[in-house]
Chains A and B, each alone.
Chain A
Amino acid sequence: MKAARFTLEAVDWAPWLEPVSAETATPAQRTALEASPQAGSAYFRTLAHDVESLAERSPLFHAVMYVPRGLKRAERELATVVTSIVNGCIYCSSVHARRFVELIKQPEIIRALYEEGLDTKLAPRLRAIVDYALKLTREPAAMTAADLAPLRAVGMDDLEIHDLTNAVAMFANANRLMQTLGEPALPDDATPRAAA
């Protein structure tokens, strides 16, 4: 059954293209899959059809989300949840909301964003992150230098703003792959609906 709402529960993903199988993967596909966060997942095995782009994207994703220093990991995760909510990506929001909660143990922040919306009351630093992620996701062409002022006001330096920008941008990418090559599924129903 298709997962239909934002959740803190685990969600599966069902591809619309038959993924590359572990048995028939070429050596290049195998290498690219092994460098991906979950080599066996249907999502990465689907992306492995175009092996060169997967081999570039996995290290890019890793650098954006996990490279040390700069913006705190939990704050990168929060930004990707906001982007995923704006873009409607139930799968990405579930994965990264759970990572955020693992890191800072405050599920109530995610619940407020899901249930009350992105304008829910938040601490000033989180509010600044949410507002920046929302606008850069929805209206990149409308961004001006004034959009950095709230980030500066809560003490963010250039490296943190750089990292925040890249996290939001990376999920403009992830949300499109995830929502147009397959769909979120409730666990135990991750079978492909269409094969090609």
Chain B
Amino acid sequence: MTTTSPDLLERIIGVAPDSPLSNLRARRPDIVRHTQGSHDVLLCPADPGGLSLSERALIAAAVAEAAGHAALTRHYRQLLAERGDPPQGKRLDTIRQHVERVATAPRTALPAHIEALCAVGLSGRDIVALTQIVAYVSYQVRAAVGLALLAEGAAA
């Protein structure tokens, strides 16, 4: 990733470089760096392994939508549109169901759900990557919401 690539979270919130929020975030440089870095390795990995780039974008869009974040939902749907839909079928259905569960009711997960993902061809790495994407977008939504409120306050 190049250092000139714009920070996704600030783009989503709609703050300019050198704005009060951007300067506030700059006091926590490791958070800024690894929030973007986590996005990059989960959504745009050089080697996606057995979880395709399309599937990754679809998962992220589903999590943003379930959390009700319009701007992030648009962002990830656009990414999915660029990459094309993954093939329909049992594999995608199983992935979708698990993503919904982890996003909205993580306490209901069971070992059988991991076995179901293995049964449709996901490896241990793919399952961890899927879970990390759901967990990351759940983080990203809440960070974006809280930071947007701070930006609103600074603008008022």
Contact = CB atoms under 8 A, between A and B. Distances in A.
Interface of A: 16-18, 46-47, 49-50, 52-53, 55-57, 59-60, 62-64, 67, 70, 87-89, 136-137, 140-141, 143-145, 147-148, 158-159, 161-166, 168-170, 172-177, 179-181, 193-194, 196
Contact of B149 (A46, A148, A168, A194): A148
Q: Which 4 A-B pairs have the closest CB atoms?
A: A165-B146, A141-B68, A88-B107, A60-B34
A52 B149 contact: no
Contacts of A67: 28, 30-31
A52 B51 CA distance: 14
B83 to A, nearest CB: 19
Contacts, number: 169
Contacts of B102: 176, 180
Which bucket holds chain B's interface residue count?
A: 35 or more
B11 interface: no
A140 B132 contact: no
A194 B125 CA distance: 15
Nearest to B63: A176
Interface string B16-39: 000010001101101101110110
Interface in B138-156: 138-143, 145-147, 149-150, 152-154, 156
A83 B52 CA distance: 31
A174 B128 contact: no
Interface stretch (B74-82, B89-97, B110-118): B110-118
B34 A57 contact: yes
B107 A53 contact: no
B42 interface: yes
B106 A88 contact: yes
